[in-house]
Structure 1
Amino acid sequence: MTGPSLLTLDPSASVADTAMADIVHAVLSPDEFALFDRHASRRVFGNGEVIFERGSAGRTMYVIVRGMVELDFGQEVLPKYLAGNEFFGELGLLIGSHLRSADARANGDVELLELDHAQFCGLIDSAPGLFAYFLRRTIMRITSHEASLIHQLRRRNNELEAALDNLYSATSRLSHTEELVRTDELTGVCNRRGLSLYLQAARNQGQCPPQGLLLIDCDRFKQINDIYGHLVGDRVLQSVANVLRSIALKDDLACRLGGDEFCLVVARTDRIGLQRRADFILSAMRGLVERSGQVPRACAVSIGAVLLNPADDWNHWYALADGALYRAKNKGGNGLQWHESEALSASD
């Protein structure tokens, strides 16, 4: 299924404009509804029953199968009523730290499709093209709606601004369906699947093979999660990703391998160039730590470095860098260690 190109849309156009109305209307097409129905759980709510409350943490989204739902935003904003095939609560899945902006109640008996994070992610592999178009429409609708609320209430709301920034950024990342399956949702850098595609392309399409690898791990990250919570931990991971993204050149790749482990694959470099990249990362993270308040927004990192032999595969590269990273951790972290043979040759 294909839909209107976002390049043809003018966000300032009148609501009467048919193309914009189709984009911003929160109703699933029959194909989209069937896709969601295959992955969601069904729930029934009685008249007046609360589905979620304003200010609660968003972790699920909903699609109306039958009945009507009332969204009460409070603060002199008129309630909104949703009916069959309309969806709501999607910010809870698109933005990990989102707090609900309305009370949702059943207006009569209501049957809903309910999707948690795992079910929502399952839509990507099931129908990436259809899912990408749904996300594009959703982003346009949310940004338009939130901008209208900000204008109506005439005040700055930090959470809404953060939502707009994230959604505008997501719009560019979702210009092609492929990006849905190769981008880490939390940090916006590449994920393991994207790394695999990158390495495959370098081998099959005659691109310059990678020449250097930095394996980066956050120091004492578990303590940050345990003391300050996972929301703060997520922001720390985003800080690491931002630093890696800022230093990655056109043919390089910044990647989150999982948890608090990242890597930077460098296409063209030597030992001096790779050392400079590592020094920049260490210095940038230390600076962010020093500028943090009581609640950390960054952490120190440990780095394992290795120059690559293009004839070897990723698993071999990773093992060498991981050994160097292990030694950096054993030395107390917040530093760089090279693969042993390179470290010895540098000391000769």
Structure 2
Amino acid sequence: MLEQLKKYFDNFHEAVYIVDPDRKILYYNPIAEKISGFTKEEMENTHCYDNKLNHIDEDGKKLCLDGCPLQKSIRENVVTDNFVYLQHKKGHRIIVHVRAIPLIENGKVIGAIEVFTDQTKRSLLYENEKINAIIKYIDPLTGLLNRLFMKYELQTFLDKRELQEWGIIFLDLDNFKRTNDTYGHLIGDQVLASVSNTILNFLEEDDFAFRFGGDELIVMFSKAKKSTLIKKAKVLQVLIKATKIRDIDDENLTNTSMGLTVMKNGSNIMDMIDIADQAMYEAKQEGKNLIKYVEA
């Protein structure tokens, strides 16, 4: 059966892998390689609880170690559906829809098939900028928009939009100087790039993000009221903390302080960024790894 399934899934348009009852990975298809960054040689004959994909939910729970959909499907002979955040080989997080299906032969569960699809909603603004090759507005390290775009294009862009409210997050990596001093600037760059990729993968249509300077990043969410913005900030903080450089075991590597505010239609964007920046500074003063909301 397994060899027949391999031939079929090699040409499948979804990511697929197959495990035995002990969750040993027997097969890993080309789309799974593309989405995760891991090759079949790196994945096959390992176990999903080896935690290479390091699935978490939005609360940061490590599902491969506790609450694995594959394990539930095998034990209970049921199909499970979940949205989880997979960790790419490079370190950033990607939201995927996971369906685990029991694999049955002669009436006995002999393993499970996991099918996963990339559910990322890329920022249309970011993709259009990239497609149109406006390289001068893209920060080369992080892939985020840069200060040049903020200076020359952002206010005009906002003035032309019909969206009435923007949620602004001004965030800063709490331990970035320590990271550079301890691990070197090349690792610091990797951390910043991976965190930025996690942010980009979290964005939806009309959202966008900037590198303000150093490790200071700005994320703007369209149509975001206070409650929505705070919820998004909490999830994003969890995902950024769970963004790691593999082989570096440092729980505080990607802690963040965040300052939040909501920009009303007609407000000056730089004034709003200053308010969010001040809120972030207050979060740092109050102990770091915190979220602080200030009404504009």
Q: Is the 8 A contact 1:240 1:298 kept in 2?
A: no
Report the CA distance between 1:313 and its aligned residue.
Answer: 0.7
Find the counterpart in structure 2 of residue 18 from structure 1.
Answer: none
User: Is 1:202 the equivalent of 2:162?
Assistant: no
Q: Is the 8 A contact 1:292 1:298 kept in 2?
A: no
The runs of at least 4 aligned residues of structure 1 exceeding 4 Å deviation read 171-174, 289-292, 295-298
Q: How does 1:143-222 map to 2 (within 5 A)?
A: 175-178=131-134, 180-196=135-151, 197-203=153-159, 205-222=160-177
- Structure 2 residues not aligned, in runs of 5+: 1-88, 91-126
SS at match of 2:264: coil
**Aligned mates of 1:301, 1:292 — CA distance in 2:** 21
Report the CA distance between 1:297 and its aligned residue.
Answer: 10
- The structure 1 residue matched to 2:205, chosen from 232, 250, 258, is 250
1:272/1:246 CA distance change after superposition, 3 Å: same
- Using the size of structure 2 for normalisation, the TM-score is 0.52
SS at match of 2:242: helix
Q: Which one-letter code corresponds to 1:199 in the other structure?
A: Q
Greater strand fraction, Structure 1 or Structure 2: 2
Greater helix fraction, Structure 1 or Structure 2: 1
Report the CA distance between 1:292 and its aligned residue.
Answer: 5.9
**Aligned mates of 1:195, 1:274 — CA distance in 2:** 21
Q: Which one-letter code corresponds to 1:181 in the other structure?
A: K
Post-superposition CA distance 1:17-73 (Å, at most 9, x none): xxxxxxxxxxxxxxxxxxxxxxxxxxxxxxxxxxxxxxxxxxxxxxxxxxxxxxxxx
1:248/1:334 CA distance change after superposition, 3 Å: same
Q: How does 1:1-348 map to 2 (within 5 A)?
A: 175-178=131-134, 180-196=135-151, 197-203=153-159, 205-289=160-244, 293-294=248-249, 298-339=253-294, 341=295
1:330/1:289 CA distance change after superposition, 3 Å: farther
**Aligned mates of 2:204, 2:267 — CA distance in 1:** 23
Report the CA distance between 1:286 and its aligned residue.
Answer: 2.3
The structure with higher relative contact order (CA 8 Å, sep 6+) is: 2
Post-superposition CA distance 1:273-330 (Å, at most 9, x none): 1011100111112223597634789511100000112222122101211121111001
Highest CA radius of gyration, 1 or 2? Answer: 1
**Aligned mates of 1:320, 1:241 — CA distance in 2:** 22
- Using the size of structure 1 for normalisation, the TM-score is 0.45
1:329/1:226 CA distance change after superposition, 3 Å: same
- Structure 1 residues not aligned, in runs of 5+: 1-160, 163-170, 343-348
State which drifts further: 213-222 or 284-293.
284-293
Report the CA distance between 1:223 and its aligned residue.
Answer: 0.8
- Length, aligned pairs only: 171
Cα RMSD over matched residues?
2.8
